[in-house]
Amino acid sequence: MSVHANYIAGSWVEGPDAAKNVNPSDLSDVVGEYTRADRAQAEQAIAAARAAFPKWSMTTLQERHDLLDKIGNTILAKKEELGRLLSREEGKTLPEGIGEAARAGQIFKFFAGEVLRIQGEKLASVRPGIDVEITREPMGVIGLITPWNFPIAIPAWKIAPALAYGNCVVFKPADLVPGSAWALSQIIIDSGVPSGVFNLVMGRGSVVGEAFVASRDIDAISFTGSVGTGRAIAVRCAEIGKKVQLEMGGKNPMVILDDADLNTAVGAATNSAFFSTGQRCTASSRLIVTEGIHDRFVAAMTEKLKSLKVDNALKQGTEMGPVVDQSQLDQDLSYIDIGVKEGAKLAFGGERLNRETEGFYLSPALFIETTNDMRISREEIFGPVASVIRVKDYEAALATANDTEFGLSAGIATSSLKYASHFKRASQAGMVMVNLPTAGVDYHVPFGGRKGSSYGPREQGRYAAEFYTVVKTAYTFPG
Ligand SMILES: NC(=O)C1=CN([C@@H]2O[C@H](COP(=O)(O)OP(=O)(O)OC[C@H]3O[C@@H](n4cnc5c(N)ncnc54)[C@H](OP(=O)(O)O)[C@@H]3O)[C@@H](O)[C@H]2O)C=CC1
Ligand SMILES: O=C(O)CCC(=O)C(=O)O
């Protein structure tokens, strides 16, 4: 099996080390072998991006538009192949994998359009005869550090705006899932990105990520991952004056009110908590249910979970794939144990499952009789584990929903316009969903949260310009 190399300064280069990428649905299946860069190689990539920046930042909008459009079209044409690879290496179901690959293609096409809409402002000065122009310029070299749970969409929603606004990129994907990142990079390279403008640096966070954070030749870092790693990166970036954007965890609430349509509520809650094996920062792991519907909701959820097909991600009909790896599985099982010890009751699941192929299978776990101060209600588990929290009424539900250190996404199931409208205003989250799952967002609108979930400007949509550009104010006195 040949080793998949890094792409630095326009060439494919191997690092000193390589690792096997194993399918979490079938541990006997090796997806491929992928190189790991050392610090010197990461620094070469940064130097290549720095050297390419002056020319790339001056390219015409047409050139950048055409490149991004071509990348987007190629991803869309290959979405089945890419989606299969993604599902094989990460464990989300095949429809989820193909959907994510398609989303990556749409993101590139969206930013191909945004290239043509880069905006500025012209204002009159407070002084006579002077014009003021406000323009957006590229930041420079951007370091992108991505997690394992969206191996193609998250890289796409960072790489596409970085290139669109005239920046050069050094990209470090998660060590656990280099396959989709490598395949995406190959498409970017085959589409004709100039040498040095885009560099793929696979390797460990503690080596490659560290090199990015420490480098004074990187102007900005966009990171998605855990709170601990994100906050440490922000502190280091602040020390050397580097711009930073962090998307981190969530403990997203889904409120279910007495007047909710039960089918809608159960559908949205199942999707929010268990699709993609609960491994989404937008997943809902706190189902906050008012008294009048509580018992009916728990009974209907339990029935739904009994029939949810947990199996090999590539198998037709699978609704929930395996957990991504042993360490995440250990984390999930440990939280299930913590929940039981805290006095919560398992209404369903939380058990290791055996399937035809050996993998990290876990049945969806639904806790009842929980409170919002239990650890399982406060800490991000990042697996198929959800707690039902019983509350008296809407006011108590809202207070419970907001009682968290996170603020990424929040949902409400209700047929009341009054409560839906109030919740949209009063929820302390960056994204609010009414009668919809907390996860699964559009690609053309801003994505991000409040409180401990996010830091820095928003990602995605036209709001991405805020992070990937720097504003210049120019004064002219024509004389
Ligand atoms: N909000 C979200 O979208 C996500 C949240 N998580 C949460 O984080 C937990 C742990 O997952 P994990 O993948 O370890 O998350 P991390 O935050 O450790 O990893 C995210 C990315 O950061 C890199 N990284 C790790 N350490 C450093 C460092 N010191 N400097 C720079 N970059 C670094 C990682 O590299 P490498 O892959 O080599 O470790 C990876 O590319 C999960 O259980 C979950 O709770 C995880 C993924 C996504
Ligand atoms: O819910 C989504 O569509 C995106 C979720 C996400 O970006 C994440 O989990 O990191």
Please work out whether the CB of residue 147 comes within 6 Å of at least one atom of ligand 1.
Answer: yes
User: Which amino acids bring their CB within 6 angstroms of ligand 2?
Assistant: 149-150, 154, 224, 280-282, 439-441
- Tens digit of each residue's pLDDT (9 = 90 or more) over 131-186: 999 999 999 999 999 999 999 999 999 999 999 999 999 999 999 999 999 999 99
Buried b (16+ CB within 10 A) or exposed e, 61-97: eeebbebbbbbbbbbbebbeebbbbbbbbbbbbbebb
β-bridge partners, 34: 4, 19
Nearest to 250, CA basis, from 392, 394, 147: 147
* pLDDT on residue 479: 85
Name the residue with the closest Cα to ligand 2, atom 3: 440
Share of the chain above pLDDT 70, in %: 100
**Residue whose CB lies within 8 A of the most ligand 2 atoms, among 180, 447, 453, 459, for a mutation test:** 447
Q: What is the mean pLDDT of residues 60-67?
A: 98
Please work out whether the CB of residue 331 comes within 6 Å of at least one atom of ligand 1.
Answer: yes
Please work out whether the CB of residue 452 comes within 6 Å of at least one atom of ligand 1.
Answer: no
pTM over cut 0.90: yes
CATH architecture of 3-248+453-476: 3-Layer(aba) Sandwich (3.40)
Buried b (16+ CB within 10 A) or exposed e, 351-381: eeeeeebebbbbbbbbbbebebebebbebbb
Share of the chain above pLDDT 90, in %: 99
Nearest to 377, CA basis, from 449, 451, 268, 285: 285
In the reported structure, the alpha carbon of residue 48 is separated from the centroid of ligand 1 by a whole-number distance in angstroms of 25
Kindly tell me if the per-residue pLDDT of 33 is higher than 90: yes
Ligand nearest to the CA of 177: 1
Q: What is the mean pLDDT of residues 39-44?
A: 98
Please work out whether the CB of residue 175 comes within 6 Å of at least one atom of ligand 1.
Answer: yes
**What's the mean pLDDT when you consider all of the chain?**
98
Question: Where does the chain hold its CATH 3.40.309.10 domain(s)?
Answer: 252-434
Q: What is the mean pLDDT of residues 74-84?
A: 98
CB 175 within 8 A of CB 140: no
- Tens digit of each residue's pLDDT (9 = 90 or more) over 443-469: 999 999 999 999 999 999 999 999 999
Question: Where does the chain hold its CATH 3.40.605.10 domain(s)?
Answer: 3-248+453-476
pLDDT band at 390 (very low <50, low <70, confident <90, very high): very high
CATH architecture of 252-434: 3-Layer(aba) Sandwich (3.40)
- Tens digit of each residue's pLDDT (9 = 90 or more) over 400-445: 999 999 999 999 999 999 999 999 999 999 999 999 999 999 999 9
Q: Which residues are catalytic?
A: 247
Side-chain half-sphere of 406: how many Cα atoms within 13 Å? Answer: 27
SS3 81: helix
Kindly tell me if the per-residue pLDDT of 1 is higher than 80: no
- Tens digit of each residue's pLDDT (9 = 90 or more) over 329-386: 999 999 999 999 999 999 999 999 999 999 999 999 999 999 999 999 999 999 999 9
Please work out whether the CB of residue 146 comes within 6 Å of at least one atom of ligand 1.
Answer: yes
Kindly tell me if the per-residue pLDDT of 207 is higher than 90: yes
In the reported structure, the alpha carbon of residue 440 is separated from the centroid of ligand 2 by a whole-number distance in angstroms of 6
* pLDDT on residue 409: 98
